Amino acid sequence: MQSHGSSLEALTRWVDEVARLTQPDEVVWCDGSDAEYAGLVAHMLKTGDLHPLNATTHPRSYLHRSHPSDVARVEHLTLVCTAEREDAGPNNHWMAPADAHAKIDALFDGAMRGRTMYVIPYCMGPIDSPISRCGVEITDSPYVVANMRIMTRMGAPALARIEREGRFVKGLHSIGDLDPERRFIMHFPDELTIKSIGSGYGGNALLGKKCHALRIASHQARHEGWLAEHMLIVGIENPQGDKYYIAAAFPSACGKTNLAMLIPTEGYRRAGWKVWTVGDDICWMTPGADGRLWAINPEAGYFGVAPGTGADTNPSALATLGHDAIFTNVAVTADGQPWWEGLGEGTPVTDWQGRPYDPANGPAAHPNSRFTVSARQCPSWAPESEDAQGVPLSAIVFGGRRPSLVPLVFEAKDWAHGVLVGAAMGSETTAAATGAVGVLRRDSMAMKPFCGYNFADYFAHWLSFDRPGMKLPRIFHVNWFRKDADGRFMWPGYGENMRVLDWMIRRVEGLARGHETPIGTVPAPGELNVEGLDVPPATLDELTRVDVDGWIDELNAIGTYLDGYGERMPERLKAERLRVSRALDAAQHRRAAQVA
């Protein structure tokens, strides 16, 4: 590809600069074609970067094994480089831009010798959507190219849009020498630039994903008046054919993908309810002319965690993975099928490092092993995923793993209260994970590792959408993980969560009155559809009960957490916390008076 038009001069100049610095043997501009992808796969099969899987059970599917030291995001090496430290905020690791460029460019010097440098033009979101944004990733990893083709709209159409718009996010990546001591993922929000070296792992190397679609995009969104969020988007269709779109944020291990691909229980299916998957991980939302928030999934594929994905937990995800998928760090059965813990069938013979499987070595599949697959292969894929204007949001849901205190579902009083609910969300650790039970880790809006600027400014940006003319989504909080005194889950979860979504939709439509409490509105007795549900009435009551004393302590802890972000914390959010605290105090006094 020789000529790219005058508006691509900046791009070609940058590519030339990178080539001079990194010194690759060859430079290839990627066009995103089927032939190019087939050639990359053939090359990686030859080099051993990919291994073929069973062509009968998993046609055109492959296994990639990463270096054992390179299997996850590395948050302590992930930096946000703004001129002022305060702009990155206490929620990010920071380095001054000039120092950061000098440090990482020294590592890029000659890093691609003996390798091919690939130039990947890509679009995050439907290629013709005004909500979408383009980028170019330069990488020396053919594995990255193959994954970016699945995860983004990549190649010639993206390059044409870049030529038309004249702007794009610059991403430079090299696997380097995979030395953890020479590994950095740096973000320069003011320059719309990402530099990543020393890792071939997904989130560190597929720069369109968390680096662009969240860290850089959140910065763009703040300046341009939209939101880039770590949220799934799911469509709920009622028996009358009305569709309601819900965006939902959960920290890891809280059932995000399961909700995105939820299969309604038999009773709901029989009644004519359907669920449509728009996105499983990232949501970009922008105000429309009608005042509603319209959302797109900027990704074209799923980069999902394999362990725990099975016929019982997520049959839709399993069905999606039947062909044309790339698996990373999973185990393999004797007949060449991918395997991981929680799959529910098959026996591993080779572990994720390629060794004969021995339980003494730990899990057969790495706990963070992944699959990459086109979203269109999902049985519940929503055709609206390709709509240029996006889908209108009726509700935003926040959730976390809270064994106690937090009800099954409650609705925030208004937008400002909803922002507080999102800012306060988090999950409690389990004994299996840390040895310390019940330690609450707050992860505001599930964005703590991904917000590209100061969290206090981020909360202020959320609050800024509450203005005349806006018809904002209702905000809810859910908790599928309440436990009883014996440590058993009180709510069955999975497909039964449809009952909670049903109540939310009735709230949106004004068909459920709910019961007002100091922390928000919970389902009134009889409002949750419990037909055919094997949950005792006393348990249902407990799931919607508000423990006033416990919540007074919670609101105090929330205040301490918010104060940790310093002077920029918006006064409106502090006032909202105070309002809820006072409502709880009043409820406590009323109860004391009744007892007296």
Encode pLDDT of 440-478 as tens digits. 999 999 999 999 999 999 999 999 999 999 999 999 999
User: Is residue 49 helix, strand or coil?
Assistant: coil
- Per-residue tokens: 334: 């004797």
Give the integer Cα–Cα distance in Å for 585 and 548.
8
Among 309, 326, 312, smallest CA distance to 374 is for 326
User: For residues 348 and 333, is the Cβ–Cβ distance under 8 A?
Assistant: yes
Residues 6+ apart with CB under 8 A from 503: 409, 512, 523, 527, 528, 529
Among 101, 93, 157, 149, smallest CA distance to 126 is for 157
Print the SS3 string covering 172-210. EEECCCCCHHHCEEEEEHHHCEEEEECCCCHHHHCCHHH
Task: Please report which confidence band the pLDDT of residue 388 belongs to, taking 50, 70 and 90 as the band edges.
Answer: very high
Look at residue 68 in the predicted model and tell me its pLDDT: 92
Give the integer Cα–Cα distance in Å for 101 and 89.
20
Print the SS3 string covering 334-356. CCCCEECCCCCCCCEEECCCCCE
Among 66, 91, 336, smallest CA distance to 199 is for 66
More confident of the two residues 341 and 76:
341
User: For residues 349 and 333, is the Cβ–Cβ distance under 8 A?
Assistant: yes
Secondary-structure percent of the chain, ordered helix, strand, coil, rounded to 5: 35, 20, 40
Mean pLDDT of 54-61: 98
Residues 6+ apart with CB under 8 A from 101: 81, 188, 195
Give the integer Cα–Cα distance in Å for 432 and 261.
27
Structural domains in the chain, CATH included, are: 6-53+69-225 (3.40.449.10), 229-300+384-545 (3.90.228.20), 301-377 (2.170.8.10)
pLDDT in tens, 563-578: 999 999 999 999 999 9
Cα 340 from chain centroid (whole Å): 21
pLDDT in tens, 397-429: 999 999 999 999 999 999 999 999 999 999 986
Percentage of the residues of the chain whose pLDDT score is greater than 90: 91
Give the integer Cα–Cα distance in Å for 135 and 157.
12
Give the integer Cα–Cα distance in Å for 231 and 250.
7
- Per-residue tokens: 176: 């380097």
Question: How many Cβ atoms sit within 10 Å of the Cβ of residue 40?
Answer: 20
User: Is residue 17 helix, strand or coil?
Assistant: helix
- Report the helix count and the strand count for the chain, using DSSP H and E: 18, 30
Q: Which residues are catalytic?
A: 254
Give the integer Cα–Cα distance in Å for 411 and 424.
14
Average pLDDT, the chain: 95
User: Is residue 297 helix, strand or coil?
Assistant: coil
More confident of the two residues 253 and 493:
493
Backbone angles phi, psi at 72, to 5 degrees: -165, 170
β-strands 283-287, 293-296 pairing: antiparallel
pLDDT in tens, 326-377: 999 999 999 999 999 999 999 999 999 999 999 999 999 999 999 999 999 9
Angle among Cα 444, 449, 453 to the nearest 5 degrees reads 80
Host H or E run for residue 105:
helix 97-108
Host H or E run for residue 276:
strand 274-279
Q: Which residues are annotated as a binding site for GTP?
A: 253-258, 370, 401, 494-497
Give the integer Cα–Cα distance in Å for 277 and 377.
11
Give the integer Cα–Cα distance in Å for 432 and 81.
35
Cβ-based burial of 511 (10 A; exposed 0-12, middle 13-18, buried ≥19): exposed
β-strands 116-124, 153-154 pairing: antiparallel
Task: Please report which confidence band the pLDDT of residue 313 belongs to, taking 50, 70 and 90 as the band edges.
Answer: confident
Q: Which residues are annotated as a binding site for substrate?
A: 73, 201-203, 252, 368-370
Burial 361-378 (b: 16+ CB within 10 A, else e): eebbbbbbbbbbbbbebb
Look at residue 430 in the predicted model and tell me its pLDDT: 55
Please, what sign has the CA dihedral across residues 274, 278, 284, 289? negative
Q: Which residues are annotated as a binding site?
A: 73, 201-203, 210, 230, 252-258, 281, 368-370, 401, 494-497
**DSSP tag of 483:** B
Give the integer Cα–Cα distance in Å for 355 and 341.
16
Among 350, 275, 342, 352, smallest CA distance to 309 is for 342
User: Is residue 122 helix, strand or coil?
Assistant: strand
β-strands 133-139, 116-124 pairing: antiparallel
Judged against a pLDDT cut of 90, whether residue 255 lies above it is answered with no
- Per-residue tokens: 61: 């599917």
Q: Which residues are annotated as a binding site for Mn(2+)?
A: 210, 230, 281
> pTM of this prediction?
0.96
Mean pLDDT of 109-119: 98
Give the integer Cα–Cα distance in Å for 321 and 300.
15
Look at residue 434 in the predicted model and tell me its pLDDT: 41
